[in-house]
Structure 1
Amino acid sequence: MAKKRIAIDMDGVMADLNQHYIDWYYERTGEKVEKERLMGLPETTGFPQEGIVHHFLHTPGFFRTAPVMPGSQEVIRRLMENYEVFIVSAAVEFPQSLSEKIEWLAEHFPFISWKNIVFCGLKTIVRADYMIDDYDKNLRYFDGERLLFTAPHNINYQDYNRYDTWDDVAKFFGVQEAVTVTG
């Protein structure tokens, strides 16, 4: 019998882009922004100097240096024992991110084969049993089970089962007994 398939988003799910925005903003402006200030606002907005954070998405090195979401490595490694796992990123929107994301995955998730990495534009092409993503636009048209990974920009979404941490994801898939997730 074939393993069930899980499609996992990178940005905001495996890579903590919200913390990265905050850190890069502070490094470039000296202004500290608390994550609470970003709650319920569209991604990249809510910073005192509007527009600067969106510029980061086009800046070489941004995607390569994103911090790993706590617990993601351990849980994904465990999921791969019982599921077919694909990393699916709408990376084509930011062409310079393609090589950076490949390098980032090789460094932080070396156990994921290049054969299980999918870069696309729209994720409507994705066919899997489960999708873990932080965006409604990616989950809305997905035919399988939708797992919304909590991020400041999606805090007001009500239409999905919400997962705040990778520990929550581990519990959903029944792998929590083998994983200790710290934040």
Structure 2
Amino acid sequence: MRIAIDMDEVLADPIHKFIQLFNRDYNVPSDLFQEPGKEFFHHIPEEINSKWFEYINQKGFFRDLPLIEGAVEAVKKLQENNEVYIVSAAMEFRNSLEDKLDWLGEHFPFIGWRNIIFCGDKIVNVDVMIDDRAKNFVDFSGRKLLFTSPHNLLLNDYERVNNWEEVLAKLL
């Protein structure tokens, strides 16, 4: 199979970093509860909740994101008998390109540059797409695996995976 895997909120955890930055700069609680179906910034005080856009556009934001638990091991297993591609809509945030490439090189050195796709819309010809954003499934005809994140908890139209263990159970 040809498998496309999203980066943010699937391999890497930008929410954790956003919460750290808001805590550092504005004393927002580091144990911020995210209501199902809402983005994290909906839980930040209104007068500062647009600050996330400044953070995400800073050089280095994407370079040190924490890994989603089990991601490295699972991607290695998937790659044993499948073509695995990392597909990220990185073009939206210009400074993310180098950061994301370096992050992948550090955490997923077994994924070659030919299998990394930075794009705008995720128009890819693969059999399976693993993503946390349902908008990326529009016009995609393959198997759609929605990787659980607080913002998508109310969606029921897609085959859901809550962690990398469940991804492996469905695809291996």
Same fold (TM over 0.5): yes
Which residue of the partner structure matches residue 61 of structure 2? 62
Larger mean Cα displacement after TM superposition, 40-49 or 108-117: 40-49
Q: How far apart, CA to CA, are the structure 2 residues paired with 1:38 and 1:22?
A: 14
Q: Report the CA distance between 1:43 and its aligned residue.
A: 5.4
Conserved in 2, the CA contact under 8 Å of 1:134 and 1:150?
yes
Q: Report the CA distance between 1:19 and its aligned residue.
A: 1.6
**Aligned pairs for 1:32-51 within 5 A:** 32-42=29-39, 44-48=41-45, 49-51=48-50
Which residue of the partner structure matches residue 82 of structure 2? 83
Q: How far apart, CA to CA, are the structure 2 residues paired with 1:139 and 1:46?
A: 26
Q: Report the CA distance between 1:38 and its aligned residue.
A: 4.3
**Aligned pairs for 1:114-125 within 5 A:** 114-123=113-122, 125=123
Identity %: 43
TM-score, normalised to structure 1's length?
0.88
Of 6, 15, 22, which residue of structure 1 is paired with 2:3?
6
Residue 157 of structure 2 aligns to which amino acid in structure 1?
D
SS in 1 for 2:144: strand
Of 152, 157, 170, which residue of structure 1 is paired with 2:168?
170
Residue 36 of structure 2 aligns to which amino acid in structure 1?
M
**Aligned pairs for 1:6-155 within 5 A:** 6-42=3-39, 44-48=41-45, 49-123=48-122, 125-155=123-153
The alignment yields a C-alpha RMSD, in angstroms, of: 1.4
Residue 87 of structure 2 aligns to which amino acid in structure 1?
V
Residue 160 of structure 2 aligns to which amino acid in structure 1?
R
Residue 40 of structure 1 aligns to which amino acid in structure 2?
G
Larger mean Cα displacement after TM superposition, 58-67 or 15-24: 15-24
Q: Report the CA distance between 1:46 and its aligned residue.
A: 2.1
